Amino acid sequence: MPELPEVETVRRGLVPAMEGQVIARAQINRPDLRWKLPENMGARLTGKRVTALRRRSKYILADLDSGESLIIHLGMSGRMLISGQKVGEFHHPHPTPEKHDHIVLDMDGGARVTFNDARRFGHMDLGRTDDLENHWLIRTIGPEPFGNAFSESYLIEAIKNRQSPIKTVLLDQKIVAGLGNIYVCEVLHRAGISPKRKAANLSSKRIASLVPIIRDVLSEAIEAGGSSLRDYRQADGELGYFQHTFRAYGQEGNPCVTPECGGTIGRIVQSGRSTFFCGQCQR
């Protein structure tokens, strides 16, 4: 499932095609994705201007001049693809419609934004822009890792008494928004913290050290266009490249890259997910 860097990369790719543009036509090709789509979704989108395109955790939020916001979650295999947009001297024509093109937004500037999702684990909803933080999909999400609310003191207080493994705690979207399996593995490897350690057993200093590392890992991943594993593509169809710099995730059996470590990356399963770490330098 796309994590914060992938979603942010898609959002940035959509901005030139959508932000400030009017949705000339919204074509809704099925009544549901993961859940039932909003009533009269096509009519509520058609003719509305996208005033801003934001991100909250793993959601893309398209604010409309109607006072509503379109909430988009890519799910496991969802892709937002742009066609018909002129970039420099190049023009990307509209492709032939595909079986899994579930939502098609034709913008008045000529671009077409298509939501394609083969497995339909993605979802969309509409909510009041001025009350979006209370929407059922968003209200329990924790602070954004790049925001001021996500501080060293906040993280210490939030997890110091948690008896679960630190890997599981950092995956909890109520603690910090947008982190998923890939980037938690990478963060813990850089921090030298075992994913098996109980959060409550970590010193305040070690918990605090996670904050800048989380921001660094996510920033580097966004700069690389995210990580392309399985279905993920950027909005222009290109792959992300951060997977080429993984230190831990997917590196089972490879030497640990931590200087003077000498260990090997191993794999365990935690809460049904693969965890990659070095048993030598992560304590």
Rounded Cα–Cα distance for residues 9 and 223 (Å) = 8
In the annotation, is 58 catalytic? Answer: yes
Out of 120, 198, 215, 273, which one is annotated catalytic?
273
Place of tokens 């398209």: 62
Indicate the residue type of 248: A
12 is catalytic: no
- Residues 113 and 95: beta-carbon distance below 8 Å: no
Pick the catalytic residue: 11, 55, 58, 190?
A: 58
Based on the residue annotation, tell me whether 198 is a catalytic residue of this protein.
no
Neighbouring C-beta atoms of residue 253, cutoff 10 Å: 8
Choose the catalytic residue: 2, 5, 143, 195. Answer: 2
31 is annotated as an active-site residue:
no
CB within 8 A of 250, min separation 6: which ones? 229, 243, 276
Taking Cα atoms as reference points, which of 241, 276, 278, 274 lies closest to residue 259?
278
If 0-12 CB within 10 Å is exposed, 13-18 middle and 19+ buried, where does residue 39 land? exposed
Catalytic residues: 2-3, 58, 273
